[in-house]
Chain A
Amino acid sequence: MLQCIYLLSDSGEVMLEKQLTGHRVDRSICAWFWDQSLSQGDSFKSLPVIASPTHYLFQIVRDGITFLACSQVEMPPLMAIEFLCRVADVLSDYLGGVNEDLIKDNFIIVYELLDEMIDNGFPLTTEPSILREMIAPPNLVSKMLSVVTGNASNVSDTLPSGAGSCVPWRPTDPKYSSNEVYVDLVEEMDAIVNRDGELVKCEIYGEVQMNSQLTGFPDLTLSFANPSILEDMRFHPCVRFRPWESHQVLSFVPPDGEFKLMSYRVRKLKNTPMYVKPQITSDSGTCRISVLVGIRSDPGKAIESITLSFQLPHSVSSADLSSNHGTVTILSNKTCTWTIGRIPKDKTPCLSGTLALETGLERLHVFPTFKLGFKIMGIALSGLRIEKLDLQTVPPRLYKGFRAQTRAGEFDVRL
């Protein structure tokens, strides 16, 4: 089981240490870790399980903060990694993000949360809605109160009612004057277009996100019009397996507030809403590059916040890029981002320019990969449709809302 958790800032400073068991882990392990990651670079940073001379380390990096956990004995590594991800999620939910300042400013809350989330190296309470009842998230009111009175406890002195019930994700009896339940389909499109311009892989990763504010103990059923298109799925613990197995219906008692009901994947899509046509020619030390971006098949809704980013190869010494629409920025690490926004009606956005290669190189022999970003509100590109959402006992003044959106996930266009 886990013995210790460290939070490291992006400069390698140990911001927090939480010993979990009687076997104390010395801080020097962090120094070892940081030395290694400095000397070995990125490939070490992306290694989630590390066998150090004394301990096994598990790491995840979230917004520059490294969450490091140590163990000396055999344990499922995914359990440690999932737990650290959960800690990171809960912290960013509580603090509105994770960064060095936020963690240092709220270190007491972080300590209290960690103490509640893990006991003796084994996860204790990880359900966000229950944690919220035990430890109040910092908000404006409590901050003001603490300034004025100098005394505001964020530790609740009663046990959340859900912590012990058979539906541990839900407080037993929340009360709302208006009952609202919202269902969002949030989809991400992953695609790979190879150097010949062919669509090699195109699939949708989607999540059904819900926000439920319902009184009492509601029992919901959500059904899709076309569940057969779903390739794989994963469910929130509240979803009952039996109804899904027999007739593909989601039956569940929802947690209170926002949560992710399920995630799914739809594979082998035939079409992408947009195209990217990059061209590159290189000769005698300079390269000409031109990239066209446009709409291939109109999804029926506006495509927004289109961006295209790519990494210039190492052998490029300088770049001169311009576009007829949107802005182009090149960062010092040779990351180039072209912010397009919406596609204008009258022209096709085009990025063009020249790249100067390092001296001695005749032509470019490695090519960048373009990452496309976009967002379409109001449509789920997978074609998944929600048929209906039923409540077993309909409360008074019930409001149900449905939304959908699609954005680009890992959309790679190779050149």
Chain B
Amino acid sequence: MFNQFGSTSETLSKASAVVLRIGTDAHLYDDPEDVNIAPLLDSKFESEKCEALKRLLALIAQGFDVSNFFPQVVKNVASQSSEVKKLVYLYLLQYAEKRPNEALLSINYFQKDLGDPNPLVRAWALRTMAGIRLHVIAPLALAAVSKCARDPAVYVRKCAANALPKLHDLRLEEHAPAIEEIVGILLNDHSPGVVGAAAAAFTSICPNNFELIRKNYKKLCQILPDVEEWGQILLIGILLRYVVARHGLVRESLMLSLHGMDSNGFCEKDGLVRDLTLDKEDGGKSDSFDVNLVNVVSKCYIEGPDEYLSRSSCPDTVTSAFDSKETTSIAHNEDVKILLQCTSPLLWSNNSAVVLAAAGVQWIMAPLEDVKKIVKPLLFLLRSSSASKYVVLCNILVFAKAAPSLFAPHFENFFICSSDAYQVKAHKLEMLSLIATASSITSILREFDDYIKDPDRRFAADTIAAIGLCAKRLPTIPTTCLDGLLALVRQESFAGDPESVDGEAGVLVQAVMSIQTIIERDPDSHDKVIIQLFRSLDSIKVAAARATIIWMVGVYCSLGPIIPRMLTTLTKYLAWSFKSEASETKLQILNTTAKVLISAKVDDFQMLKRIMVYMLELGECDLSYDIRDRTRFLKKLLSCKLASNEPTEDSVASQENIAVHVVEHVFGRKLKPFTPVALNDRFYLPGSLSQIVLHAAPGYEPLPKPCSFVFEEHDQLSDLDRQREAGAELDGSQESSETGDEDGSSDYDTESSVGSEFSSDDNERKVSNDASDPAAPLIQISDTSVSADQEELRSKRALDLWLDDQPSTSNQTPSAVNSNQSSYAKISIGDIGSRVKPKSYSLLDPGNGSGLKVDYAFLSEVSTVSPLHVCVEVLFENSSGEPILDVNLEDEESMKVADSSEQTLVGKANASYNNVPTLIPLEEISCLEPRQSAKRLIQVRFHHHLLPMRLTLHYNGKKVPVKLRPDLGYLVKPFSMSIEEFLATESRLPGMFEYSRRCTFDDHVKDSRMENGKDKFLSICECITLKVLSNSNLHLVSVDLPVANTLEDATGLRLRFGSKILSSEIPLLITITVQGKCTEVLNLTVKINCEETVFGLNLLNRIANFMVEPSSLTS
């Protein structure tokens, strides 16, 4: 009976939906402006107001700006109807920042609603009030949040936790301690829902305030399973970071236990671990875990992007990074045990993000034998939505790279379904080729065989590449693979005109390349395969595949007994087909013929010579200039060979003739033996965004340094007290740290441009001028009229009064508030120039370079070659006992280009770089005596502002690959501008172009000059400027000094630096604001305004990092 009724109502509702879309908001969305909205807003009927608001929201949804209705909408905030209220709030949040004056009108109602008995009303009011982002009401909002943090209703407390990041986002430095305190209260809440939200607040406000976690650690662990799923994700991360900071990594974990394995370090005594891992695998250690990679991974988790980039030693010579003091053992550490216990059931969570976060903790902290329990839950995630499938696969790939044995038995899970997206398929293929073992390879190859026939040809080509990888890893299978691949090549080449089917060409090229990779391992036993490939040359039409095979002719021309005998026929065939070839094939033919000629035997020589001459003639009048160039080059080079009648001249003659040597060297070289690829991948924490996009996203934080959080009861307490004190002191003078825009109009005539002095040519003179009067820095006081009473005006109470009493005058007041800036003085700092020392990095340490030590430092000079180049000073030093000869530094990329002309298969893209060499080389140092050092200047153009550049260092006839890492601070150049220009530019770059970070600074404390009676502010300024200019290439625009404050308090001190990004000439402004007392550690807020968001954020992180670093300069 019910069934019938149900079905009738369903048909009815369908009918209504179809006929008219009655009762929905369809007409409002389609035509929001068909009536006049303004009178509706003023209507006395709730329903009409509601309709008007819906129309406004429809306009917002469609991207129109309807902020002009703001005053009328704000009035309706007083409405009793919950729907009207909700809609008004939605509207307010959209536009409050744009119409700050009118938005203030609503504050009273929020205040009233906050006292409402209905928790939902309180929560809404709080959410909206915190969300409207006005600095003026921030103190009120903060008071409201701290009240709501103690609210009886859980929902309200949860909203209070969510409101904290909103307030934090307004960057009210002086309220930071209060905000952090509320975070602590909420983390200690007994309701899991609140704790989850508090975890989110903690992550975005004070992720390194481990003291807050320490107090509640056990409780947080216990409550973790009950926290909401979203809170769990973040809370897991927080707990992990805390444990690492407090106790360090776990000795038995995957991250460290393997480490002990090969270095015989501190793990030696832990016989238990060894036994466990050794009898676990049949194939032995090296098979189940990639020890090197595990070390790289664990190192990457700990160190930030800056350290990674400035790490001087090559990643594949990772040495013991972890001190045994910085580790802990699970057997003795209660905290670690609890963490592992409380996260392991979360592997069963319904939310894939929770599962991945929990798996990350187990991966990093769990003992080796327990890590395998993350495998099945992770694999189960592959059955979720296609979007999460991709992300999970990306993470599994990293796990599998380090520990293939974990996933090897589960290879079936990575078999490809027809419904998978292309990226998922590609990742699964990579996974399969990673985890294939001798036992599973037959099934995997059979699968691959199926994939090759897949209609998606790009995927088929990837499969063939994967076969090549498998064959490379597993020595047993190449023969089977080769037969299959050869058959494929034959079949593909008969498949008809490859142009007609897309992707077919790619499959063929990939097949030939996979064959080449397999042959490369052991060419001697595969000469039959090579011959077969040569034979199929006639039927293969795809230029890139032909080029590869022809290249192989050249490389393997003297291999085995049969190939040398085929050469004349082959070259004749090539000469015959030369005219009809594509240009990349033509280049390859020319190279190959030259190689064949060099290694030719006596009886073939005359014939080959004639063919060469013929081809050179053809090449000289080719349409493509590349080929003409190559022809002329070869003609010159081979002239000696072509003139002679014998394949090898007798030794006496050849020694005189350098050309012969050159030719032999260029074309007679054998292929280098197969070398494994260097481990230069960068890994990020599992589950992070950075791991997916493969660069450090802004805000990415590696794990804290092991044991960096040392808990000492006494110190912590006094520190907290001090903070609270400082907070209380600052409460009244909120605006003092606001921007000092008004100062720009005052007479500004200081000659403080320190930054430019370094870069200008006559800096010698100026510096000496300044140095002549070092004790008298110029202080100019621009405005001293602010008194304490005016400060009072801005206090909370006054604002309250004003809000209650005279809302009508709201137009003038905020600006009046703003104009009551406390005064600042401009100062100029003189004698810094001589003290700035650019930081130097090590390129090669003497241990690796048999006594040759190479350091480099970035210079602030602007390159003469092109605006994209950076000047780098390289210091060579011989610390060995013997002289070092022929030291030179070369660009690896450019060498590759040279190589590629004879080797590369497919036309390389990097030929098209804008014709500027990436490295302006230095003059070679012919001899470096022991203890002697030499300086050279090179100019470098980095391809990317984060990626290191690969260079090759030559010495004593040896070649060593080294990496030159860009320093972000020197990818900008000083931009000299006046303070007015600075402020004008700054005001043009608000919102998303402005970002800031906070950090601490303590150089001035150590600076001994502090004691000798010098002005404290000045020495702080000096310290900061010195630090900044030693690490980056900037121009100091101005220094603002707060005058109204006490002598002890440096709060309000502000330094501005101007610069331009080297590559794009986009201006980049840096403002550093100081907070704290002169004699103690200062809190700095570094703010960057720049259009180039990614670069700016990276630079911001760089600055924040080097400000914290202990200074190397000792005065």
The main secondary structure of chain A at its interface with chain B is mixed
Separation in Å of the B606 CB from the closest CB of chain A? 44
What 0/1 pattern do residues 457 to 496 of B give for CB contact below 8 A with A? 1001000000000000000000000000000000110011
> Could you tell me the distance between the alpha carbons of A105 and B58 in the complex, rounded to whole angstroms?
10
The stretch that binds A, out of B176-184, B448-456, B626-634, B786-794, is: B448-456
B450 neighbours in A (Cβ, 8 Å): 194-195, 414
Q: List 10 A-B contacts (CB under 8 A).
A: A23-B991, A51-B695, A75-B699, A76-B687, A78-B392, A109-B25, A153-B81, A159-B155, A190-B383, A200-B447
From 410 to 442 in chain B, residues with beta carbon under 8 angstroms from any chain A beta carbon are: 412, 415, 417-419, 421-424
Task: Specify which chain A residues have a CB less than 8 angstroms from the CB of B93 in the assembled complex.
Answer: 19
Contacts of A33 in B (CB 8 A): none
The 4 residue pairs across chains A and B that have the minimum distance between CB atoms? A143-B23, A164-B154, A46-B421, A48-B387
Which residue in B26, B349, B412 is a CB contact (below 8 Å) of A234? B349
Query: Is the pair A412, B418 in contact by a Cβ cutoff of 8 Å?
Result: yes
Q: A79-B233, A81-B387 are in contact. Are A43 and B63 (CB under 8 A)?
A: no
Does chain A have a CB within 8 A of B197?
yes
Given A46-B423, A192-B417, A366-B454: A108 and B57 interface contact (C-beta under 8 Å): yes
Which stretch from B374-382, B514-522, B650-658, B1062-1070 is at the chain A interface? B374-382
A200 near B415 (CB under 8 angstroms)?
A: yes
Binds B, one of A347-355, A367-375, A386-394, A400-408: A367-375
Q: Verify if A327 is at the interface (C-beta below 8 Å from B).
A: no
Q: Does B174 sit at the interface, judged by CB under 8 A?
A: no
In the complex, what distance in Å separates the CA atom of A381 from the CA atom of B82?
50
Q: How far is the CB of B380 from chain A (nearest CB, A)?
A: 4
Contact for A72 among B21, B502, B1093, CB less than 8 A: B1093
Q: Is A215 an interface residue (CB 8 A)?
A: no
Contact between chains at B419 and A365 (CB < 8 Å): no
Determine, out of A122-130, A218-226, A269-277, A288-296, the stretch whose residues face the partner at the interface.
A122-130
Contact indicator per residue, chain B 144-162, by CB within 8 Å of chain A (1) or not (0): 0000000001110011001
For window 27-59 of A, CB contacts with B under 8 Å fall at 27, 42-43, 46-49, 51, 53-54, 56, 58-59
Q: What residues of chain B lie closer than 8 Å to A76, measured between beta carbons?
A: 233-234, 237, 353, 356-357, 687-689
Report the bound CA distance from A393 to B1004 in whole Å.
70
Q: How far is the CA of A147 from the CA of B133 in the complex (A)?
A: 38
**For A124, what are the chain B residues with a Cβ–Cβ distance below 8 Å?**
158-159, 162, 197
Contact across chains for B60 and A48 when beta carbons are under 8 A apart:
no
The answer to whether B689 and A200 have CB atoms under 8 Å apart is no
Q: Do residues B86 and A77 form an inter-chain contact, with CB atoms below 8 A?
A: no
Contact, CB under 8 Å: B453 / A365: yes
Known contacts being A49-B692, A265-B380, is A139 close to B387, with CB within 8 Å? no
**B397 touches A (CB below 8 Å):** no
How far, in whole Å, are A362 and B493 apart by their CA atoms in the complex?
13
Report the Cα distance A154→B81, complex, angstroms: 11
A22 near B689 (CB under 8 angstroms)? Answer: no
Residues in A whose Cβ lies below 8 Å from that of B447: 194, 200
Interface residues of B (CB under 8 A from A): 9, 12-13, 16, 21-26, 28-30, 46-47, 50, 54, 57-58, 60-63, 81-83, 86-87, 89-90, 93-94, 97, 118-121, 123, 127, 131, 133, 153-155, 158-159, 162-163, 165-166, 169-170, 191-193, 197, 200, 204, 225-226, 228-230, 233-234, 237, 345, 348-353, 355-357, 376-377, 379-380, 383, 385-388, 390-392, 412, 415, 417-419, 421-424, 443, 446-447, 449-450, 453-455, 457, 460, 491-492, 495-497, 500-502, 687-690, 692-693, 695, 697-701, 991-992, 1093-1094, 1097
Using A78-B391, A232-B377, A241-B225 as known contacts, say yes or no to A365 and B491 having CB atoms under 8 A apart: yes
Closest A residue to B200 by CB, please name it: A122
The answer for the CA separation of A150 and B169 in the assembled complex, in Å, is 41
For B992, give its contact among A72, A109, A144, A313 (CB under 8 Å). Answer: A72
Prevailing SS type, chain B contact patch: helix
Chain B CB within 10 Å, residue with most, of A73, A119, A151, A314:
A119
In the bound assembly, the distance between CA atoms of A236 and B351 in angstroms comes to 9
Are the CB atoms of B386 and A46 closer together than 8 Å? yes
Report yes or no: B230 in contact with A123, Cβ–Cβ below 8 A: yes
Residue on A with the closest CB to B87? A108
With A22-B169, A47-B423, A265-B383 known, 20 other A-B pairs at CB within 8 A are A15-B61, A19-B94, A21-B166, A43-B421, A46-B390, A46-B423, A72-B698, A76-B357, A76-B689, A101-B26, A112-B86, A126-B229, A140-B9, A144-B23, A147-B22, A201-B412, A234-B355, A241-B348, A311-B455, A369-B418
> Which residues of chain B are within 8 angstroms of A194 by Cβ–Cβ distance?
446-447, 450
Q: Which residues of A contact B501 (CB under 8 A)?
A: 314-315, 361
Instruction: Contact check, A22 vs B97: say whether CB atoms are below 8 A apart.
Output: yes
Partner of A54, one of B30, B133, B1093: B1093
* Docked complex Cα distance between A120 and B422 (Å): 34
Which residue numbers of A lie inside 8 Å of B, CB to CB? 1, 14-17, 19, 21-27, 42-43, 46-49, 51, 53-54, 56, 58-60, 71-79, 81-85, 101, 104-109, 111-112, 115, 119-120, 122-124, 126, 134, 138-140, 142-147, 149-151, 153-159, 163-166, 168, 190, 192, 194-196, 200-201, 205, 231-237, 241, 244-245, 260, 263, 265, 311, 313-315, 358, 360-362, 365-369, 371, 410, 412, 414
Q: A83–B230 contact, CB under 8 A?
A: yes
Across the interface, B496 reaches (CB within 8 A) one of A109, A360, A414, namely A360
Query: Are A42 and B701 neighbours in the complex by a CB distance under 8 Å?
Result: no
Taking a contact as CB atoms under 8 Å apart, the answer to whether A107 and B415 are in contact is no
Bound Cα distance A324, B380 (Å) = 40
- What separation, in Å, do the CA atoms of A120 and B165 have in the docked complex? 8
Cβ contact within 8 Å between A153 and B83:
yes
Kindly list chain B residues whose C-beta atoms are within 8 Å of the C-beta of A72: 698, 992, 1093, 1097
Nearest chain B residue, comparing its CB with the CB of A195? B450
Neighbouring A residues of B57 by C-beta, 8 Å? 107-108, 111
| Structural contact, B154 and A163, CB atoms closer than 8 A | yes
Q: What residue of chain A has the Cβ atom nearest to residue B93's Cβ?
A: A19
Closest A residue to B204 using CB positions: A1
A102 to B701, CA, bound (A): 42
The answer to whether A81 touches B385, judged by C-beta atoms less than 8 angstroms apart, is: yes
Contact B392 A235 (CB under 8 A): no
Query: A158–B380 contact, CB under 8 A?
Result: no
Would B118 and A140 count as touching, CB distance under 8 A? Answer: no
Say whether A49 contacts B992, CB under 8 Å: no
Q: Which residues of B contact A77 (CB under 8 A)?
A: 391, 687-689, 692
Minimum CB–CB distance from B462 to chain A (whole Å) comes to 12
Closest Cβ of chain B to A262, distance in Å, is 8
**Interchain CB contact under 8 A, A74 and B687:** no
The smallest beta-carbon distance between B219 and chain A, in angstroms, is 15
Chain B minimum-CB-distance residue to A126: B230
A56→B693 contact, CB < 8 A: yes
B25 x A105 contact (CB < 8 A): yes
Tell me which of B119, B350, B421, B1094 contacts A236 (CB under 8 A).
B350
Among A78, A144, A156, max chain B CB count under 10 A is at A78
A46-B422, A106-B25, A241-B348 given as contacts; is B16 within 8 A of A150 (CB)? Answer: no
Closest chain B residue to A154, Cβ basis: B83
CA distance A101 to B97 in the complex (A): 32
Contact A143 B169 (CB under 8 A): no
Q: A48-B388, A78-B352, A234-B380 are known contacts. Are A107 and B58 too (CB-CB below 8 A)?
A: yes
Given A122-B162, A157-B82, A314-B501, A410:B23 Cβ within 8 A: no
Contact residues in A for B50 (Cβ distance below 8 Å): 151, 153
Cross-chain contact of B380 among A43, A79, A232, A414 (Cβ < 8 A): A232
Among the listed B60, B345, B443, B687, which residue makes an inter-chain contact with A78, where contact means beta carbons less than 8 Å apart?
B687
Q: In the complex, what's the smallest C-beta–C-beta distance from B947 to chain A, in angstroms?
A: 15
Which of B226, B422, B697 meets A73, CB within 8 Å? B697
Please state if B379 and A232 are interface contacts (CB–CB under 8 Å): yes
Q: Across the interface, do B693 and A49 meet the contact criterion of CB distance under 8 Å? A: yes
A60 touches B385 (CB 8 A): yes
Q: Out of A105, A149, A158, name the residue touching B21 (CB < 8 Å).
A: A105
Nearest-neighbor residue (CB-CB) of B123 within chain A: A159
Query: In the docked arrangement, what's the CA distance between A311 and B82, Å?
Result: 53
